[in-house]
Chain A
Amino acid sequence: MGKTLYEKVWEAHEVRKLKSGQSQLFIDLHLLHEVTSPQAFGMLRDLGLRVRYPHRTFATVDHIVPTHDRTEPFQDPLAQSMLEALRENTKEHGITFFDLGSGNQGIVHVIGPQLGLTQPGMTIACGDSHTSTHGAFGAVAFGIGTSQVRDVLATQTLAARKLKVRRINIEGKLAPGVYAKDVILHIIRHLGVKGGLGYAYEYGGSTVEAMDMESRMTLCNMSIEGGARIGYVNPDETTFAYLEGRPYSPKGAEWEEAKRRWRAMASDPDATYDDVVTFRAEEIPPTVTWGINPGQAVPIDGRIPLLEELSPEERPLAEEALAYMGLRPGQPIKGVPIQVAFIGSCTNARLSDLREVARHLKGHKVKKGVRALVVPGSEWVAKRAEEEGIAEVFREAGFEWRNPGCSMCLAMNPDRLQGDELAASSSNRNYKGRMGSPRGRTVLMSPLMVAAAAVTGEIADAREVFGIGR
């Protein structure tokens, strides 16, 4: 009987069974950032332990970095102290640190793939739930807590239990103006934010096969918003073409050998799954959220549900969401005014995201009164975007072009909403208070839809605003 990629990777990395019945799982690649790691280094110190394999851990700074003025010391002394703690910890333990200005700093889930560190068949862990992003390469990648960061630093392993695997097929061709972001919002809308509990999601089908790597990363990134700790796509020629020649990719004779190994890791055609769900690409519209979790979403030309259309279990949260968002049941989502437009985050701040927006944004202007920000995913993305003239297109349209980081997605730096401002955002979470103001509101959508909202000053259909597919 065939095996899934998840099972094969698990078997290749299972060191042994632990007394509790969990498995001790070896982690090939460990990524660190400044927010979830300082306590882990403190715990190592308390236990008198060292980092066992420093060459398997890479660090960068992304959550707390100011994107406007990066002159040190930062205005926020707490942010500065976190950066310095990471600098000291990585230096003390011999860990590679992609610091500000190194050319490789960026959001941890943008730089791993960009550098070729993320590879098929790997186990990858990071103290960050969006580690699922790396699953786009056929890696088993997942977020961990700080105590587990300690475990990985000290032993390169952690205690884990095997998940079930749900195959999610997406078949057919996406309509113009519909992106991977819409696909994942559509999936979460249908399977729910708890739908993935206990599962790893394997995405496949002709739509996924046709996606470029950066779209696959967007798809896998938000697995966690659907409750699935892991999401992945089987590696194929698209994966290999992306990885070839990257700084940490295998080189020379090792490259061919690696490809052979990676191909063998893909799920077998006769693999069995614990569950299978299929979506049709043609039925996926540009999708936006209206509530306070990513499952509360509707098609752009739809309306917010009436309470009686919801199940009794969904109603209390819907009422809470409507009150928080200041929206009415049955109201069309299109036309809701916005004050902020944010293009960024580990979901959608890669070069292809920015390219696609710039292609359509040229000649348009951000509506007066809208604060619009682009925060590229990494220093490398920012540099390329400058070289290609993309940054200039954004600036000319009236967007602020910022330095790389997580920025307003979780607002641990100075970029944040004020009062009850409503943001059109390419990020991944519309939780209450997520963007830094306890009353701030977030509407999730694709980067191009954010640009359409920026231009019109309201939630809008990018296909109409930019004349796509007409």
Chain B
Amino acid sequence: MLEKFTVIRGRAVPLRGEDIDTDRIIPARFMKVLTFEGLGKYLFYDERFDEKGNPKPHPLNDPRYQGASILLVEAGFGSGSSREHAPQAIKRAGFRAIIGESFAEIFFGNATAIGLPCVTLAPEDLAVLFQAVEENPALEVEVDLVSKEVRFGGRTAPLFILEEAREALVEGLWDPIGELLQAGELLDQFDRRLPYPRRSE
């Protein structure tokens, strides 16, 4: 049984910046790996560390945000490559949800498929949430995928997420492999009907 994501509760870390691309989330040189294990420590590596490996000022290095499990981002998050290494690194660094203004298409799909909910808020609500978390890093934030709202500091803001993705997360259907496999015979019909590439003789 896959985990059912209904309410995700935790502290949030504010990560400002538009169009944060997957090369920033995880630089390509850390993808020379055969598994996803341990990728969490390379999350935003070049933003967090200088060329000698010394920490730079960055929300993820800020002691006040240690242990946060919700990532706050702005618009166009996850643009660029299809590397699943990006959401894998975020998840493996301990994050359980991302709240932003908008997400790149492939990133969103990859995140959903590994059980990392990405939800959006209206820009004005997101601005309030950013400010609240920056003022009070200990603030508890709740992402409620059932009632479709984000709650923090006595406020409630409606969240948006593709309905198919929400269903999949809430019902524990976010990894589709089981259901895809059930198509069985139907797959062979399509394989016969769609002739190319040909089976090699």
Whether both chains belong to one complex is answered with: yes
State the A residues within 8 Å of B (CB). 12-13, 15-16, 18-22, 24, 26, 28-29, 35-36, 38-39, 42, 47, 49, 52-53, 55-56, 58, 63-64, 76, 78-79, 81-82, 85, 96, 117, 119, 122, 127-129, 131, 142-148, 150-151, 154-159, 161, 193-194, 197-198, 224-225, 227-229, 248, 250, 258, 293, 313, 316-317, 320, 410-412, 429, 431-434, 436, 438-439
Question: CA of A156 to CA of B190 in the docked complex: distance in angstroms?
Answer: 10
User: Which residues of B (162-201) have their CB < 8 Å from a CB of A?
Assistant: 162-165, 167-168, 171, 173, 175-177, 179-181, 183, 186-187, 190-191, 194, 196-200
Query: Taking the nearest CB of chain A, how far is it from the CB of B17, in angstroms?
Result: 7
CA distance A82 to B19 in the complex (A): 30
> What's the minimum C-beta distance from B109 to chain A, rounded to whole angstroms?
7
Q: Is the CB of B194 within 8 A of A146?
A: no
Distance to closest chain A CB from B176 (angstroms): 4
The smallest beta-carbon distance between A317 and chain B, in angstroms, is: 5
- Decide yes or no: A21 and B164 within 8 Å by CB, A36-B83, A36-B84, A147-B110 being known contacts: yes
Once A55-B200, A85-B34, A316-B17 are accepted as A-B contacts, the answer to whether A129 and B81 lie under 8 Å apart by CB is yes
B79 touches A227 (CB 8 A): yes
Interface 1/0 per residue, B21-50 and A, CB below 8 Å: 101100111011111100000000010000
- Residues of chain B lying within 8 A (CB to CB) of residue A63: 28
A26→B190 contact, CB < 8 A:
yes
* Contacting pair B32 A194 (CB below 8 A): no
Contacts of B164 in A (CB 8 A): 20-22, 161
Judge whether A317 and B19 touch: CB under 8 Å: yes
**Complex interface: stretch among B5-13, B60-68, B100-108:** B100-108
Nearest Cβ on chain A to B108's Cβ, whole angstroms? 9
Task: Given A20-B167, A148-B109, answer yes or no on A13-B23 (Cβ-Cβ < 8 Å).
Answer: no
- Residues on B lying within 8 angstroms of A by beta carbon are 16-19, 21, 23-24, 27-29, 31-36, 46, 51, 75-76, 79-85, 87, 102, 104-106, 109-110, 113-114, 162-165, 167-168, 171, 173, 175-177, 179-181, 183, 186-187, 190-191, 194, 196-200
Q: Are the CB atoms of A81 and B173 closer together than 8 Å?
A: no
Nearest CB in chain A: distance from B134 CB, A: 15
Chain B neighbourhood of A131, CB < 8 A: 82
Who on chain A is nearest to B31 by CB?
Answer: A35
Ordered nearest first, which 8 A-B pairs have the shortest CB separation?
A145-B110, A145-B84, A143-B82, A78-B32, A159-B176, A20-B168, A438-B46, A21-B164
Complex-state Cα separation, A157 to B182, whole angstroms: 11
A–B complex contacts, Cβ < 8 Å, 24 sampled: A15-B187, A20-B168, A26-B190, A26-B194, A38-B34, A58-B197, A82-B34, A122-B194, A143-B81, A143-B106, A145-B83, A145-B106, A154-B180, A157-B183, A227-B104, A228-B105, A229-B105, A248-B198, A258-B196, A293-B79, A410-B81, A431-B21, A431-B23, A439-B51
Which of A13, A39, A47, A258 sits near B35, CB closer than 8 Å?
A39
Nearest residue in B to A56 (C-beta to C-beta)?
A: B197
Shortest distance between the CB of A109 and any CB in chain B (Å): 12
Contact between A157 and B110, CB atoms less than 8 A apart: no
A20 cross-chain contacts in B, Cβ below 8 A: 164-165, 167-168, 171, 173, 176
Min CB distance, A126 to chain B, in Å?
Answer: 8
